[in-house]
A = this chain, B = another copy of it.
Amino acid sequence: MPEIIAVGEILVDVLAETVGQSLSAPGRYLGPYPSGAPAIFVDQAARLGISAAILGAVGNDAFGCAVLGRLRRSGVDIGAVRRLDDATTGVAFATYFADGNREFLFHMKDAAPGRFRPEDVPRELFADCRAFHIMGSSLFSAPMIAAIRQGIAFAEAAGALISFDPNIRPSLLRTAGVAEEIHAIARRADLLLPSEADLAFLCPGEERETALATMLSWRASRVFLKLGAAGSCYADHTQLLAAPAFPTTEIDPTGAGDCAGATFLAGLLRDHPIAACLERANAAGALAVSRRGPMEGNSDEAMLTDFIAARKEARA
């Protein structure tokens, strides 16, 4: 029975090969890469030896095989994934620009991911659950939002903590009710895993430390804040810790925040000291951005340990 359960979009990514490539003219793409923020998250947790399961829906097609095959090889429990004959596995096309901006085109809410429903969430899967993880990017359809609420109820009954990465997608906020849902889950979560961009939405106008205090005034007892190239920091009611990023070569930033968040949560569940949780999360993020593909840079225990040791040696 899984310790971590995540729910939401299971996708493949198709990535423009060249920086600045337009999505509206023919060009070269690379893919399909297994993706979807919750899938990246559980893949990383499973690679670190935490038993993890994912809830979501794919089509009975080549892309579904690609992503489920990958998750299975990483050790993720995919038994509760809904597989549909009459819907197609979700796809995200992405192109990156020189200024760091990204443009996406999604087949998601009307494809298989949008067909996951509350009745597809199995109560028995939550028996040993210690953390139920939710991504703000998963709040894309009414059935998925209802399924997430169902998962929260089962997780609460099991005494699991609710982990939430707001993962704000401006395009999603245009959908009625999504902004309210993000605020509601942020106020319900026990652990928050925001990026700096998410702070601007959750705590508009607040400086970083004020925002951390605001978040800790909600139900959350821990906040892990992802700062990208500036590393990460952590706050609870007694401490504020920061850890610098490891130097790395950025090839593809997509998924790095999900990977870092999963590594942080895995560290918490294994009772690592907070400083070690931050260091390991930053190392996982540095490894993640160095590979093309949203979960191609995920790492196991040995990779993390070796990476941290090598960087410390280089510094010494």
Contact = CB atoms under 8 A, between A and B. Distances in A.
A293 B26 contact: yes
Contact of A107 (B29, B32, B65, B107): B107
A146 B173 CA distance: 34
Nearest to A85: B174
Interface in A218-277: none
A27 B22 CA distance: 19
Interface residues on A, range: 20 to 34
A293 B25 CA distance: 12
A24 B107 contact: no
Contact of A30 (B26, B87, B107): B26
A196 interface: no
A106 interface: yes
Nearest to A114: B110
Given A23-B63, A65-B24, A111-B111, A30 B32 contact: no
B31 A31 contact: no
Interface in A106-152: 106-107, 110-111
A146 to B, nearest CB: 19
A36 B57 CA distance: 27
Contacts of A301: none
B32 A28 contact: no
Nearest to A68: B24
Contacts of A185: none
B111 A24 contact: no
B110 A87 contact: yes
A156 interface: no
A20 to B, nearest CB: 14
A28 B29 contact: yes
Nearest to A67: B24
A27 B87 CA distance: 23
Contacts of A31: 26-27, 29
A103 B30 contact: no
20 contacts: A14-B14, A22-B62, A24-B32, A24-B65, A25-B32, A26-B30, A26-B31, A26-B33, A28-B29, A28-B30, A29-B29, A29-B30, A62-B105, A63-B105, A88-B107, A88-B110, A89-B105, A107-B111, A110-B110, A110-B111
